[in-house]
């Protein structure tokens, strides 16, 4: 009886060491995979918290709108150079959304002042600045009718969006 207890104890000990090693290895491997993903997620969320945008519609015509995008956050919003900002305009009955990626930056200025920058050389919106942007509906889109409600959404390359609503 004494010898079988020793063999049984050895088998149990070897099993526990094997299970413990497997669990430790799996946890170590998972930490090498998960930690970079968590860091990337945290950095993305931090960036999104640093970006705060305000949007207002200045005017609406039958095929275009002029909007103001204000950067009230703490990071610069780039307007070109691989930084795709997307504008979505939706209007009509039934609602017809249109994706607009071509737009004209009319001016960039310091918020609350008349101090403007040349939009051809100053292609970004620093914190405390705003851009006046003219967007055109696509050629296949119907005209914006009088008394149509228009919703404009500005989605930045950071993943932060803002929207405004107006009536022609």
The answer on pLDDT for 84 being more than 90 is no
The whole-number average pLDDT for the span 78-94 is: 82
Of how many residues is the chain composed?
168
Between the CA of residue 120 and those of 66, 152, 154, what are the distances in Å? 18, 24, 20
Say what the pTM is. 0.72
The whole-number average pLDDT for the span 132-158 is: 89
The whole-number average pLDDT for the span 109-135 is: 88
The pLDDT score that the predictor gives to residue 121 is 85
User: Mean pLDDT over all residues of the chain?
Assistant: 87
The pLDDT score that the predictor gives to residue 88 is 93
Strand order of the sheet with strand 129-136?
53-60, 64-71, 129-136, 103-110, 116-117
pLDDT tens-place string over residues 33-83: 888 888 898 888 887 788 889 999 999 998 889 999 999 888 888 887 666
Percent of the chain at pLDDT above 70?
96
Tally of CB atoms within 10 A around 155? 17
The whole-number average pLDDT for the span 14-34 is: 89
C-alpha 102/C-alpha 45 separation (Å) is: 28
Beta strands in 3-148 (DSSP E): 53-60, 64-71, 77-78, 86-91, 96-100, 103-110, 116-117, 124-125, 129-136
C-alpha 160/C-alpha 20 separation (Å) is: 45
Position 30 confidence tier, pLDDT thresholds 50, 70, 90:
confident
Percent of the chain at pLDDT above 90?
27
Cβ–Cβ < 8 Å for 86, 101: yes
């Amino acid at each position: 009886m004494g010898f079988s207890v020793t063999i049984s104890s050895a088998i149990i000990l070897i099993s526990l060491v094997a299970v413990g090693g497997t669990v430790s290895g799996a946890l170590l491997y998972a930490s090498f995979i998960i930690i970079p993903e968590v860091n990337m997620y945290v950095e993305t969320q931090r960036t999104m918290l640093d970006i705060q945008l305000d949007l207002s519609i200045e005017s609406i015509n039958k095929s275009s709108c002029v909007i103001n995008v204000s950067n009230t956050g703490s990071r610069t919003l780039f307007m070109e150079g691989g930084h795709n900002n997307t504008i979505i305009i939706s209007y009509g009955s039934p609602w017809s959304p249109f994706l607009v990626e071509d737009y004209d930056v009319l001016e960039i200025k310091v918020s609350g002042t008349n101090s403007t920058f040349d939009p051809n050389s100053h292609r970004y919106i620093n914190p405390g600045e705003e851009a006046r942007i003219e967007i055109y509906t696509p050629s296949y889109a119907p005209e914006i009718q009088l008394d149509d409600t228009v919703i404009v959404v500005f989605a930045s390359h950071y993943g932060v969006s803002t929207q405004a609503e107006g009536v022609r």
